Amino acid sequence: MENKYQLIVIGGGPAGLAAAIAAKENGLQKVLIIERAPRLGGILHQCVHTGFGLTYYQEELTGPEYARRFVERARELGIEHKTSTMVLSIEAGKTVVAVNDTDGLLRLQTQAVVLAMGCRERPRGALPIAGTRPAGVFTAGAAQKMINLGGLHVGNKIVILGSGDVGMILARRLKLEGKEVLALVERQPFVGGLLRNKAQCLDDFGIPLLLSHTVTEVLGKHRVEGVAVCPVDEALKPVCSGKKIISCDTLITSVGLIPETELARELGLAFDEGTGLLAVNEKCQTSLPWVFACGNLLFVHDLVDDVTVESLAVGEAAARFILRGESGKPLSSGTRQAGQKNESRLEADELVCILCPTGCVIKVCGSVDGYSIENHACEKGEEYARSELESPARHITSTVAVNGDPFTRLPVRTSKPVPKEKIMQAMREIRALQVSAPVAYHQALIRGVAGCDADIIASAEFLG
């Protein structure tokens, strides 16, 4: 078997796929993607909600739909991949050591490497929360995976700690599944995620948001019975005199992500002392010029579209390095641009546009002659505001069992937004849906869901 490659990309998520595609499109012939999961696409497969592709494709896609486009392009280009394969180390002699059940131990020679391993969640053990370790405490990503990919039950009465995008999206997902989301608790005085997600995930479903609060204790011996929640002062320290108990059976933590940099550290790559991030130059080369990095391994991006754009540039830079010996300038640290603080409290005459990540706060001014719409950055903003005032509607996403197996899930979505007052009726119809394989991509599974001019379609294929 041929074990020599021009470029090896470690990680088959959105970053790795984009980098490999760009490298192949820019002249490389032997490109290999190594992915530890059973299939390419990374975290996108469990992200069944919409919101992907808004800037890159100018479309609103689900995670599986977004991943599908890049997996298909990689297949068209003939890019090799090894899934269910774990990289053990990268050696200074440009050798990648990996292992899988089929090939056993692999020693793969390469001219360059792209690190695209993404990030992992910060666990509860890293948080200053008192209590024992009862059942019912999950990270947001783990809960999302259990629900969307495994069809599993995580709890009925739920508190979520942290208001990042994943936490807010999960809160909506749980609400759609009929669960009681008692509160989203955030220690900052503003939400951690995009305002568009606050609007469509929390505000739409009346989920309470406790700003400037934190969870200080988990109650219960065998199963979570409640959590202690305290306000925080200006230094973000809990004020115990304001403690209150929320009775619940589940605590979900959504408190940040940590870049997967173990391979980089073992290889001895340089890190920025100030930020703690992997140091790269403007071409995303590390302190070893033949090692590149991209995506959430560098810093946690808000949008997968931004990961794609960055990683396409890295793949091109890697190809130019291999074919022409082009390198970038000396190292500077990879740093995350400071985001604007999200002002969470809106005036009564303001709306947050959910059509793009910008999340414009649109002002609606009423008069005896009707109303005027101000502060929108584009025509879509005015269109959204008028729709929201006259006939508000939302996309719905979920998963359904296939062939009667509750643990085999197919992601589904509405073909167009449905009226907000019909959302829960549509969800009841989705939960009652019986699906048998094979199912084609975008196959209509329910026509006219909830009596609306919208169908329920498959957002992935299932051949069985």
Domain end, chosen from 235, 255, 275, is at: 255
- How many percent of the chain have pLDDT more than 90? 80
61 and 170 housed in the same domain: no
306 and 422 housed in the same domain: no
Burial of 122 (0-12, 13-18, 19+ CB in 10 A): middle
Kindly indicate the confidence band of residue 128, based on its pLDDT and cuts at 50, 70 and 90: confident
Q: Is residue 430 part of a domain?
A: yes
CB 161 within 8 A of CB 185: yes
CA–CA gap between residue 68 and residue 40 (Å, rounded): 9
pLDDT in tens, 233-280: 999 999 999 999 999 999 999 998 999 999 999 999 999 988 899 999
| Segment 306-318 mean pLDDT | 97
366 and 289 housed in the same domain: no
116 and 264 housed in the same domain: yes
CA–CA gap between residue 146 and residue 163 (Å, rounded): 20
Q: Is the pLDDT of residue 376 over 80?
A: no
Give the number of domains in the chain.
4
368 and 412 housed in the same domain: no
171 and 278 housed in the same domain: no
Provide the pLDDT for residue 130: 85
Enclosing H/E stretch for 66: helix 63-76
Mean predicted lDDT score pLDDT of the chain: 92
Q: Is residue 464 part of a domain?
A: no
Q: Is residue 344 part of a domain?
A: no
Strand partners, 280: 332
Enclosing H/E stretch for 9: strand 4-10
- Which token pair is 434? 């019986």
Q: Is residue 245 part of a domain?
A: yes
pLDDT in tens, 151-180: 999 999 999 999 999 999 999 999 999 999
CA–CA gap between residue 22 and residue 15 (Å, rounded): 11
270 and 362 housed in the same domain: no
Q: Is residue 425 part of a domain?
A: yes
pLDDT in tens, 362-374: 888 765 456 778 7
Provide the pLDDT for residue 334: 43
100 and 143 housed in the same domain: no
CB 181 within 8 A of CB 160: yes
Q: Is the pLDDT of residue 421 over 70?
A: yes
Q: Omega of the bond prior to 438 within 30 degrees of 0, cis?
A: yes
182 and 270 housed in the same domain: no
Higher pLDDT, 389 or 374: 389
DSSP H helices, 95-240, are: 140-148, 165-176, 195-197
pLDDT in tens, 276-302: 999 999 999 999 999 999 999 999 998
Q: Is the pLDDT of residue 343 over 90?
A: no
Q: What is the pTM of this model?
A: 0.91
Q: Is residue 70 part of a domain?
A: yes
CA–CA gap between residue 317 and residue 66 (Å, rounded): 24
Q: Is residue 341 part of a domain?
A: no
| Segment 436-443 mean pLDDT | 96
What CATH number is given to the structural domain containing 447? 3.10.530.10
Please spell the DSSP secondary structure of 388-452, one letter per residue.
HHHS-EE--EEEEEETTEEEEEEEEEESS-EEGGGHHHHHHHHHT--B-S-B-TT-EEESSGGGS
- Residue 100 belongs to what domain range? 4-120+258-333
Q: Is the pLDDT of residue 356 over 80?
A: yes
116 and 130 housed in the same domain: no
143 and 220 housed in the same domain: yes
What CATH number is given to the structural domain containing 217? 3.50.50.60
Q: Is residue 31 part of a domain?
A: yes
Phi and psi angles of residue 419, each rounded to the nearest 5 degrees, phi first: -55, 140
Q: Which residue has the tokens 């706060």?
A: 361
Provide the pLDDT for residue 373: 80
Domain end, chosen from 255, 288, 319, is at: 255
152 and 250 housed in the same domain: yes
Strand partners, 246: 227
Phi and psi angles of residue 358, each rounded to the nearest 5 degrees, phi first: -60, -40
Domain end, chosen from 193, 227, 255, is at: 255
